C-alpha cells in the first residue's frame, strides 16, 4: 500500500479525479503504482519529467459508433473503443474484447496492464486494447461478420503494422479476426498481415497462437511451483472459464499429469471428479458454441453442474482463474486457502480482487499476476508479427519452444526482481517493477513525448 508521504500518492489522486467512475482502471493503476515506491526510491530519475503521469495517460483514445444490421433487418448501434496507451517500446499491441460489459474504464485497465505485460515479454511491443459493448452470444455467424466489418470500417484508419496491432480477447477468436482482416484488406487494398494477430494459418497466422496463452500459463506455473519444490504431477486443479485461455490451460495441465476437476462459463460450472474430458469441452465450446451445462448432460450423473454457487467452493491444490476480471473475491480466497490451495496463477487479466490477493499473500500461497502468467498470448502474437515480417512460417514445435523459453524468462525476471527489491517470492512486485523499469527507460530515452 502507498503511504501518505509517498510522492506517488498525489499522482494517484490526480488519476482518480481525472478518470471518474473508471473503477477497473483505478484498480489496475493502484496495483501497479502500489509496487513502485522501492524502485522510485532507488532510481528517483524514473519519476523525472512527469514520467509516471505520462505513463498513466493514454497516448490516444478512440471511441466510435458501430452501426450494423441484424438478421431481422433492424439497425443496431454499438460503441467501439481503441486505447493506444503507450508506444515507447514498439507499436501499441493488445487484444479486442466483444462483451456487453465493455466500457472505457475496462478497456483502459486492460490497456494499462498490457504495457507492463508486453514489456515483460522482452519483445518490441507497446501496449493498447480495444473492443466493443457488443454481445456475440446468440448472434448468427452472419451477424458476427457484419458487426466485425462495421467495427473495422472505423478501426482500419487507426491501426497498422507500425502503429497499433490488435488481436483477440473475450468474444474475439480466429473467426472474428478473419472477418476483421478481410475488411481491413478490402478497405486499404493492402495484404498487410502484420496489422493484426491471431490470424488463421492460411492468412499468415502462427502455429501455437491459439494454444499460446494457456500453454504459456502452465509453463510459468510449473516454474513457479518448482521454487518451492512442488511439481504439477498429481495436483488437483480448477480452471475457471471455458474459452480460449481456459481450454488450452486445461489441455496442457492434463498432459503434465494434473487432474483438472472443474471449469465454468458465465452460467455455471461443472465438476467432474474423474478429471475433465477436454476434447468434449472443446467440442461443446469451439464447434457447437454451446453452454458448459451440455457437458453434464452428455456425461450423465457422474458430473455435477452447479449454477448457484462459486466454482471456488470446490477444493483444489492449484487454481488458474481464466474467465474475467474480479471473478474471484475475498470470500472465495478464504475458502480456497481453507481447502488447501498451494498456488494460484492468473490466466485472465485481473481475475482476483485486491482483497482476495491480500488473503493469498497473507496465507503464503504462491501467487502470480496475469500480466506475467498470461503473457504467452501476446508473446506469440509478437512471434506471429516476426514471421509475417520475414514471410516465414515456423513449425508448431519451434514456436512452442520459443514460447516456453519466453515464459521461463518472464518467470525468472519477476522472481529475481522481487529478490533484488527485498520482496522474495512477491511476483506482483517483481512483475510490476521489472515491466516498469523497461518502459521507463524506453520513455526517458525518447524525451518528453
Q: Which residues bind ligand 2IT (CB under 6 A)?
A: 93-95, 114, 117, 167, 169, 197, 349, 377-378, 381
Whole-angstrom CA distances from 305 to 273, 294, 340, 381 are 12, 9, 23, 35
260: which strand partners?
A: 237
Partner in contact with 197, chosen from ligand NDP, ligand 2IT, none, beta carbon below 5 to 8 Å by kind: ligand 2IT
Q: Which of 348, 356, 379, 407 binds ligand NDP (CB under 6 A)?
A: 348
Q: For residue 14, is it left (φ>0), alpha (ψ between -120 and 50) or beta?
A: alpha
Distance CA 202, CA 152 (A): 20
Partner in contact with 211, chosen from ligand 2IT, ligand NDP, none, beta carbon below 5 to 8 Å by kind: none
Please check whether residue 334 is in contact with residue 359, taking contact to mean a CB–CB distance below 8 angstroms: yes
Q: How many CB atoms lie within 10 A of CB 420?
A: 15
When asked if residue 245 is in the footprint of ligand NDP (CB under 6 A), the reply is: yes
Please check whether residue 224 is in contact with residue 411, taking contact to mean a CB–CB distance below 8 angstroms: yes
Please check whether residue 431 is in contact with residue 116, taking contact to mean a CB–CB distance below 8 angstroms: yes
Please identify, using beta-carbon distances, which residue of 95 and 205 lies nearer to ligand 2IT.
95
Interaction residues for ligand NDP, span 284-303 (CB under 6 A): none
Q: Which residues are catalytic?
A: 129
Partner in contact with 265, chosen from ligand NDP, ligand 2IT, none, beta carbon below 5 to 8 Å by kind: ligand NDP
Please identify, using beta-carbon distances, which residue of 95 and 369 lies nearer to ligand 2IT.
95
Please check whether residue 30 is in contact with residue 90, taking contact to mean a CB–CB distance below 8 angstroms: no
Partner in contact with 205, chosen from ligand 2IT, ligand NDP, none, beta carbon below 5 to 8 Å by kind: none
Q: How many CB atoms lie within 10 A of CB 200?
A: 14
**Closest CB 274 distance from ligand 2IT, rounded Å:** 32
Cβ within 8 Å of residue 251, ≥6 positions away: 211, 214, 278
Tell me the H-state helices in 242-395.
244-255, 278-282, 293-299, 330-338, 354-363, 370-373, 376-390
Interaction residues for ligand NDP, span 38-97 (CB under 6 A): none
**Closest CB 244 distance from ligand NDP, rounded Å:** 4
When asked if residue 242 is in the footprint of ligand NDP (CB under 6 A), the reply is: yes
Please identify, using beta-carbon distances, which residue of 127 and 241 lies nearer to ligand NDP.
241
As to burial, measured by CB atoms within 10 angstroms (0-12 exposed, 13-18 middle, 19+ buried), residue 299 is: middle
Q: Which of 84, 322, 404, 432 binds ligand NDP (CB under 6 A)?
A: 322
The phi, psi pair for 9, rounded to 5°, reads: -60, -50
The site for ligand NDP, by CB under 6 A, has a size of: 25
Please identify, using beta-carbon distances, which residue of 114 and 404 lies nearer to ligand 2IT.
114
When asked if residue 168 is in the footprint of ligand NDP (CB under 6 A), the reply is: yes
Nearest one of 129, 187, 185 to 153, comparing CA atoms: 187
When asked if residue 206 is in the footprint of ligand NDP (CB under 6 A), the reply is: no
**Closest CB 176 distance from ligand 2IT, rounded Å:** 12
What nine digits make up the cell of 183? 475488411
Partner in contact with 111, chosen from ligand NDP, ligand 2IT, none, beta carbon below 5 to 8 Å by kind: none
Helix or strand holding residue 82 (H, E): strand 75-86
CB-nearest residue to ligand 2IT: 95
Partner in contact with 438, chosen from ligand NDP, ligand 2IT, none, beta carbon below 5 to 8 Å by kind: none
**Site residues for ligand NDP per CB under 6 A:** 99, 101, 168-171, 213, 241-246, 265-267, 322-324, 327, 347-349, 374, 377
Amino acid at each position: 500500500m502507498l503511504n501518505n508521504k509517498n510522492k506517488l500518492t498525489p499522482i494517484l489522486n490526480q488519476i482518480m479525479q481525472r478518470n471518474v467512475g473508471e473503477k477497473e482502471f483505478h484498480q489496475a493503476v493502484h496495483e501497479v503504482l502500489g509496487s513502485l515506491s522501492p524502485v522510485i526510491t532507488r532510481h528517483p530519475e524514473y519519476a523525472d519529467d512527469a514520467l509516471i503521469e505520462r505513463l498513466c495517460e493514454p497516448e490516444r483514445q478512440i471511441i466510435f459508433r458501430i452501426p450494423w444490421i441484424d438478421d431481422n433487418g433492424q439497425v443496431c448501434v454499438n460503441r467501439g473503443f481503441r486505447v493506444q496507451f503507450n508506444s515507447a517500446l514498439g507499436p501499441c499491441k493488445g487484444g479486442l474484447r466483444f462483451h456487453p460489459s465493455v466500457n472505457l474504464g475496462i478497456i483502459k485497465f486492460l490497456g494499462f496492464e498490457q504495457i507492463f505485460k508486453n514489456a515483460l515479454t522482452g519483445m518490441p511491443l507497446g501496449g493498447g486494447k480495444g473492443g466493443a459493448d457488443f454481445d456475440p452470444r446468440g448472434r448468427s455467424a452472419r451477424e458476427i461478420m457484419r458487426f466485425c466489418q462495421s467495427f473495422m470500417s472505423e478501426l482500419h484508419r487507426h491501426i497498422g503494422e507500425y502503429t497499433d496491432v490488435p488481436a483477440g480477447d473475450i468474444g474475439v477468436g480466429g473467426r472474428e479476426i478473419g472477418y476483421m482482416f478481410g475488411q481491413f484488406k478490402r478497405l486499404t487494398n493492402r495484404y498487410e498481415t502484420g496489422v493484426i494477430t491471431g490470424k488463421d494459418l492460411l492468412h499468415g497466422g502462427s502455429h501455437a497462437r491459439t494454444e499460446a496463452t494457456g500453454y504459456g500459463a502452465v509453463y510459468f506455473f510449473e516454474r513457479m511451483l518448482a521454487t518451492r519444490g512442488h511439481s504439477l504431477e498429481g495436483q488437483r486443479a480448477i480452471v475457471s472459464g471455458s474459452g480460449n485461455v481456459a481450454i488450452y490451460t486445461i489441455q496442457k495441465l492434463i498432459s503434465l499429469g494434473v487432474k483438472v476437476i472443474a471449469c465454468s462459463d458465465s452460467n455455471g460450472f461443472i465438476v467432474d471428479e474423474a478429471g475433465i474430458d477436454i476434447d468434449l469441452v472443446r467440442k461443446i465450446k469451439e464447434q457447437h458454441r454451446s453452454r458448459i451445462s451440455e457437458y453434464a448432460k452428455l456425461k450423465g450423473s457422474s458430473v455435477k453442474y452447479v449454477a448457484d454457487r462459486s466454482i471456488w467452493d470446490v477444493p483444489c491444490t492449484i487454481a488458474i482463474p481464466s474467465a474475467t476480471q474480479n471473478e474471484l473475491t475475498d470470500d472465495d480466497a478464504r475458502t480456497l486457502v481453507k481447502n488447501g490451495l498451494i498456488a494460484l496463477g492468473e490466466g485472465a487479466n485481473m481475475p482476483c480482487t485486491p482483497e482476495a490477493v491480500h488473503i493469498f499473500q497473507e496465507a503464503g500461497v504462491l501467487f502470480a499476476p496475469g500480466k506475467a502468467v498470461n503473457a504467452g498470448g501476446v508473446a506469440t502474437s509478437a512471434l506471429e508479427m516476426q514471421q509475417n515480417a520475414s514471410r516465414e512460417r515456423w513449425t508448431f514445435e519451434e514456436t512452442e519452444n520459443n514460447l516456453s523459453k519466453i515464459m521461463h524468462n518472464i518467470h525468472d525476471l519477476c522472481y529475481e526482481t522481487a529478490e533484488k527489491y527485498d520482496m522474495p517470492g512477491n511476483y506482483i512486485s517483481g512483475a510490476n517493477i521489472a515491466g516498469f523499469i523497461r518502459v521507463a527507460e524506453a520513455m526517458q530515452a525518447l524525451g518528453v513525448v
